[in-house]
Amino acid sequence: MRYAAASVEVTPISRMFRALGDDVRLRIVALLSHGELCVCHIEEALDLTQPNASRHLGILRAAGIVAHQRRDKWVYYRLAPQQDEECKRHMRALVSSFAKQEVLRKDVERLLKARGPGACK
C-alpha cells in the first residue's frame, strides 16, 4: 500500500533533525547558542553569501529552531524555545557539545571580530 506524502505526520523531533542535517545549519545554531545575532554577523562569521545564509536560516526557521525579528533594515535571529520536551532535551545536548568542536570555536572567533562597531551597514 502506498501512502501520500501529505498523509505522513512529521513529528517535531524528525523536523528538527532534518533541519540540523547540514554542517552549515549546525554551525549557525552553534553561533546562535551564544545569543541573538544579526544575519550580517552570521554571514561574516561563516563566510556565507546573503542568499546562502537566508536559505539556511529559512530552513531552521521553518523547523522552529530559530526565530527572527526585523529591526529597521536588519533581521536578527535567535534560538527559538522548544515546546516539545524531546526537542528541548536534544537541543541542550547539541549545544553543550559545541565547545568540543574546533571548527565551531573558530566560527566564534570570526564572529567576535565581525561584531565590531559598524558591522551592520
For 17-60, how does the pLDDT look when each residue is reduced to its tens digit (9 = 90+)?
999 999 999 999 999 998 999 998 999 899 999 999 999 999 99
Residue 2 within a domain: no
pLDDT class of 1 with cuts at 50, 70, 90:
very low
Tell me if 16 is assigned to some domain. yes
96 domain residue, yes or no:
yes
Cell of 61: 526557521
Is residue 121 one of the residues assigned to a domain? no
Residue at 99 is within a domain: yes
Q: Is 57 among the domain residues?
A: yes
Report pLDDT digits (tens) over 68-101. Answer: 999 888 899 999 999 888 899 999 998 888 777 7
Domain that holds residue 91: 12-112
Q: Is residue 3 part of a domain?
A: no
Q: Is residue 54 part of a domain?
A: yes
Count of the separate structural domains present in the chain: 1
CATH number for the domain spanning 18: value is: 1.10.10.10
Dihedral sign, CA of 22, 80, 105, 56?
A: positive
Residue 67 has pLDDT above 50, yes or no: yes
Average pLDDT over residues 107-112: 82
Q: What would the grid cell of residue 37 be?
A: 545575532
